[in-house]
Structure 1
Amino acid sequence: MRLRPLAISAAGLLAGLGLWQLAGQRDPVLFATPGRSASALLDMVQDGSLPSALLSSGKLLVIGLALAIVVGVGFGLLLSRARLLRASTDWLLFALQSVPIVALAPLILSAFGFGLSAKTLVVFLTAVFPVVVNTAEGAHRVPTTLLEVARTFRSSEWRIWKDVLLPHTVPYAMTGVRQGIAMAFVGTLAAEFFLNASGVGGLLLAAGTRFDTATVLGLTVLVSVLAVALMGLGRAVERHFARWRTVKA
């Protein structure tokens, strides 16, 4: 049964490559063929620009996402324990989620400049909100009986966080992390585009300014493949902790 979905995916991929090839042959100036795009990527691998850009983007992604996870999980748990804080910040979280982070780029640029801190802030802001919201929702769903038992045995606030809230919240937080991975990937490219022409985003920007369609299309395909791989990793982590949630229940 697994062969059928794979066959359908393979057929779709081949059809897409065929259309891409036809478009490239029809207008080579505006649309490069798959072969030219692959050759452009190979050239960047050989001159070292692509590996260097991937390392730069990966570093930015990891730092921003790690900060988003730590802050998002911690703040989400805090919201579940401080109802007044949650009531007073719900509207703010919703408002900030609704604002495109790219719109804040000029403000971030004026405050932090073109360095790593500014780009990290963009990635952090794009990734942190799904983690906060899902963590708070998971902590809110902790059975009240468990909290009452913990209080009956005079558990400290730290023990309640460590032994009750966190174990039952982790599966929900991982859903937020999975969503945060996708957002962090977008935030990484946006930061490299608008704050500092570096990394993969910088290569895309440079290729676009010189109308190098082969490089643009090659990098676009590479970015898409990386995004799919990261989303697959995020789903695998989420499924693992979803089973843990079932066991905990």
Structure 2
Amino acid sequence: MKGIFFDMDGVLLDSMPYHAEAMYKALKLELDYELDKKWIFLLEGMPAEKFLQEIFKRNPPKNVSVNQDMLLRLVNLKKKIFKEIENVALIDGVYELLEEMDKTSCIKAIVSGSSRKEVEYMIEKKIGILNFDIVISGDDVTRGKPDPQPYLTALKKTNLAREDVLVVENSPLGIMSACNAKLEYIVTLNSTPLTIQDFNNFLPNSIKNEFSKYIFKDIRSARDFIFDWIYKSHGKIVHI
């Protein structure tokens, strides 16, 4: 038996532009802070609070001390704005892919950095949670992407061997998490504004020399590869 581990935001759901806009607006309203939205995509998969800490470490807000209360206010405001503006749709080709996968014995899992409440709300609303065998959320781990823990947790729950798992990701931190877990992966760019050069500038050397071989423009163009992988015995796609 094999398994496909999908990231959610940006892989299954075209939600990242809304997350980026919500975070940008929250920072602007609360702190008059100008965020380069590219960072939302570069650090996608990181919990919101940790994302803010990382951003403020690189570019501290002016005349404001960063504390836990402020971070919590920003996270809650971002969630509120996201709910107000989101009009999330499935990534083109996802519905057909999942429908075809239902005809196989392949396990389908979601591995997301979002809270379980957010993951289940979005998936139930757009796809149907019963379409997946397991869901790993940010609430199920103590260390998020790029740490391997999210994917290792999914691996343990599915009881699959590493060589029988393929990860589908769209972000640098997701790629790093899959590699750190020593899992095969592919990248579907979908609607990300990141260029290949952006990935190369961000990824460690041990990964950047390999990852560009396994990039697809979108989930639809990855369809043949995914089913070839499911039905045939592949060698390692990536070995770190």
TM-score when normalising by structure 2:
0.26
Higher helix fraction (1 or 2): 1
Higher strand fraction (1 or 2): 2
| Structure of greater Rg | 1
